[in-house]
Amino acid sequence: MLISRTKLKEIALDIFDIIAFLVFVWGIVLCIRFFIANPYTVVGASMSPTFEENDFIIVDKISPRISQWKRGDIIVFVPPWKTIPYIKRIIWLPGETVSIQEWVVSICSDDDCQVLDERYLPEWLQTRARCGMTEFPVNTWWLFVMWDNRWFSTDSACCFGLWCYDGANYIVPYDHIIGKVYVRLFPWFSTYY
């Protein structure tokens, strides 16, 4: 059975339309993924109880470029000298000093120190100084981040596992930040039984 030329043209146009549609859709998806938002799965317990292992999060890559960072924002970034993304909470903003003494985190700026309001942490969870450093001085352009599970993970207070030796960085440069956590989807419901 022979197919007419007209029928072949119709089939070819239909195939072209489908391919053009798929290219268009994939172009939009890739633009969103690379420039607007990115999905991640939380690995580890460093942000417990706020985020548990295997929670699926969407990271907003646009608003951090437009707006200012706020204390308490949760960000995804790659620490200096590391290659994998971390998820942590912003504690200290540019122009401030962080002090961790006697289980208390204080934020100081211009001779005024205030105890950090950490109502997102359980009452029994206390912050301790680790890795030999108790005070982290002012830096104008970078951020100091900490985990919510203060006894389990590494963060700016411990130079991301580099022990704060000369040359180690305890702060997160802006250009290492991927984005701010926007929403959690499909949490690991077994933690809420």
Note the pLDDT tens digit of each residue in 11-64.
899 999 999 999 999 999 888 888 888 888 888 888 887 888 888 898 988 876
Q: Please list the residues that pair with 41 across neighbouring strands.
A: 56
Range of the domain at 167: 42-192
Q: What is the mean pLDDT of residues 108-121?
A: 80
Q: What is the mean pLDDT of residues 112-126?
A: 78
Return the higher-pLDDT residue of 130 and 184.
Answer: 184
Q: How many structural domains does the chain have?
A: 2
Q: What is the pLDDT of residue 99?
A: 82
Cα–Cα distance, 16 to 29 (Å, whole number): 20
- Please indicate, yes or no, whether residues 21 and 77 belong to a single structural domain of this protein: no
Highest mean pLDDT: which range of 38-47, 155-164, 168-177: 38-47
pTM over 0.85: no
pLDDT confidence tier of residue 192, bands split at 50, 70 and 90: very low
- Please indicate, yes or no, whether residues 24 and 59 belong to a single structural domain of this protein: no
- Catalytic residue annotation: 46, 88
- Please indicate, yes or no, whether residues 61 and 154 belong to a single structural domain of this protein: yes
Q: Please list the residues that pair with 104 across neighbouring strands.
A: 101
Average pLDDT, the chain: 79
- Please indicate, yes or no, whether residues 80 and 129 belong to a single structural domain of this protein: yes
pLDDT confidence tier of residue 188, bands split at 50, 70 and 90: low
Which domain CATH number covers 160?
A: 2.10.109.10
Return the higher-pLDDT residue of 71 and 133.
Answer: 71
Question: Between β-strands 172-173 and 142-146, what pairing exists: parallel, antiparallel or unpaired?
Answer: antiparallel
Show the CA angle centred on residue 71, arms to residues 192 and 153, nearest 5°: 55
pLDDT of 169 > 60? The answer is yes
Burial class (CB in 10 A: 0-12, 13-18, 19+), 41: exposed
- Please indicate, yes or no, whether residues 119 and 25 belong to a single structural domain of this protein: no
pLDDT of 187 > 80? The answer is no
Please check whether residue 181 is in contact with residue 74, taking contact to mean a CB–CB distance below 8 angstroms.
Answer: yes
- Please indicate, yes or no, whether residues 5 and 58 belong to a single structural domain of this protein: no
Q: Is 18 helix (H, G, I), strand (E, B) or coil?
A: helix
pLDDT confidence tier of residue 186, bands split at 50, 70 and 90: low
Q: Is 35 helix (H, G, I), strand (E, B) or coil?
A: helix
- Please indicate, yes or no, whether residues 125 and 62 belong to a single structural domain of this protein: yes
- Please indicate, yes or no, whether residues 134 and 152 belong to a single structural domain of this protein: yes
- Please indicate, yes or no, whether residues 72 and 124 belong to a single structural domain of this protein: yes
- Of the candidate ranges 7-11, 55-59, 137-141, 179-183, the one whose mean pLDDT is the lowest: 137-141
